Amino acid sequence: MTQLVWFRNNLRSIDNKALTEACKRKGAVAGIYCFDPRHYGETLYGFPKTGAFRAKFLLETILDLQETLKKVNIPLYISTKKPEESLPDLVKKIHVSEIFTQKEWTSEEATVTTNVKKALPEDIQLKEYYDQFLFHPEDIPFEHWNNIPRVFTDFRKKFEKYGSVQNIINSSLPLEQDNRGFPKNVNYSQTVPALQDLGLQEPKLDSRTAFSFKGGETEGKKRMEDYIWNTQNIATYKQTRNGLIGKDYSSKFSAWLANGSLSPRMVYWEVKNFETEVKKNQDTYWMIFELIWRDFFKYISLKHGDKLFNIGGILGKNYDWGTSEVKKQQWIKGNTKYDFVNANMKEIAATGWMSNRGRQNVGSFWAKELQQDWRVGASYFESQLIDYDVHSNWGNWQYVSGVGNDPRDRKFNIEKQSERYDPDDAFIKLWLQ
């Protein structure tokens, strides 16, 4: 019999609970990844759900994962159909006994899981694991995630004092995977589609981009090695993280974390090793601080469910949101009254990337100044961003829009932000020349 790993947003071989558990069982192991056609349609707000930049990064990630698994004789099958159609078909062809996957809970992903369970034969178990956290739900310092605080500072202090981070799971696969008895010549594709097959065009590489990296676990580990050990940029991270130009003002780990080709535990323990062997300071701590932010929004989505996508947010606020098509196009095209907003919007359109500082400013402008439906902005980011993560994206948009976790409900002064973070107008000139 065969153990099947259904890869979702856990596209790595190291520190992967589903893959590790499958390899512990008797019999052969295979994997499957589905390019769900629903991910390549249009959102409710009129944007491609997955834009070309993120799709290209994903394709690179899948190719890398396939090569890594191939070295230990684990085939990674590829489907361009819905998982509820693909998995039952493959289960029959390779005689699957159990399926292992990462637990997802946001509405679209949860619906897919339910559909898969309904479509599978009754004797096939689908085993799910929470595997995208820094602090595993089993280890949180609360009776239940429904008890987590609304304010990040309270969350962080509690987790820093009482939380614990698990060690990396089985840091490497076995050198050889015994696939004796594995069905030969299985009539199922291992071909990764091209962008054109997904209805997308190859994006042009803009020389000004701050994110020139490729997707995949191999590239993610290489970036981690370079940023933490080779350049030791981690030692000045807090000082540079609000930068705007170049690849090294921040770690850029978010893209690999978003699709799971790096795990937050991998980053955490690498930083801890650096603190032990080289230097521990506020900058190294701040990387862990940001990982905790990432966990915070995951627990917020666990706690509040579909409120993450409701116009009133987790607070149920009833604002009079606008829906101007003219303002939307001006914002997207970088044709607003603020050069700083315009430069950032041109960057994301041309590269699929925007700095953290930029995201906060363009989000505040869209929701607080223009008072437009914040979900339109969140949906545009979902389409464009290479490092799109459902929890962080929608949680952060609620935060800057006044319907989420910001206790101060702050509004950014765009002109002052520009003067502070782009004092010589270098970023503005780069993108508005």
> Which pLDDT band holds residue 184 (cuts at 50, 70, 90)?
confident
Binding residues for FAD: 237, 250-254, 290-297, 387-389
Which CATH code, of 3.40.630.10, 3.40.1110.10, 3.40.50.2300, 1.10.579.10, is assigned to 310-432? 1.10.579.10
| Average of per-residue pLDDT across 396-424 | 96
pLDDT at 253 over 60: yes
Q: Give the pLDDT of residue 201.
A: 97
Check the CA dihedral 302-304-308-310 and report its sign. positive
Binding residues: 237, 250-254, 290-297, 387-389
pLDDT in tens, 36-88: 999 999 999 999 999 999 999 999 999 999 999 998 889 999 999 999 999 99
5 beta partners: 31, 100
User: What integer best gives the mean pLDDT of the chain?
Assistant: 95
Task: Give one DSSP letter per residue of 319-330, joined into a string.
Answer: ---B--HHHHHH
Do domains 133-165+217-304 and 310-432 share one topology? The answer is: no
Q: Which residues have CB under 8 Å from 64's CB, separation 6+?
A: 215, 216, 217, 218, 219, 261
**What ranges do the domains of the chain cover?**
1-131, 133-165+217-304, 310-432
| Average of per-residue pLDDT across 4-9 | 98
Q: Residue 42 CB: number of other CB atoms within 10 A?
A: 11
pLDDT at 171 over 80: no
Q: Cα separation of 346 and 331, whole Å?
A: 10
User: Of 72, 318, 394, 350, whose CA–CA distance to 207 is shortest?
Assistant: 350
| Amino acid letter for position 397 | W
pLDDT in tens, 335-367: 999 999 999 999 999 999 999 999 999 999 999
Work out the percent of the chain whose per-residue pLDDT is above 70. Answer: 97
Return the CATH class of domain 133-165+217-304. Answer: mainly alpha
Return the CATH architecture of domain 1-131. 3-Layer(aba) Sandwich (3.40)
Task: Retrieve residue 106's tokens.
Answer: 């946001």
pLDDT at 26 over 90: no
Taking the model in full, what pTM does it have? 0.97
pLDDT at 273 over 70: yes
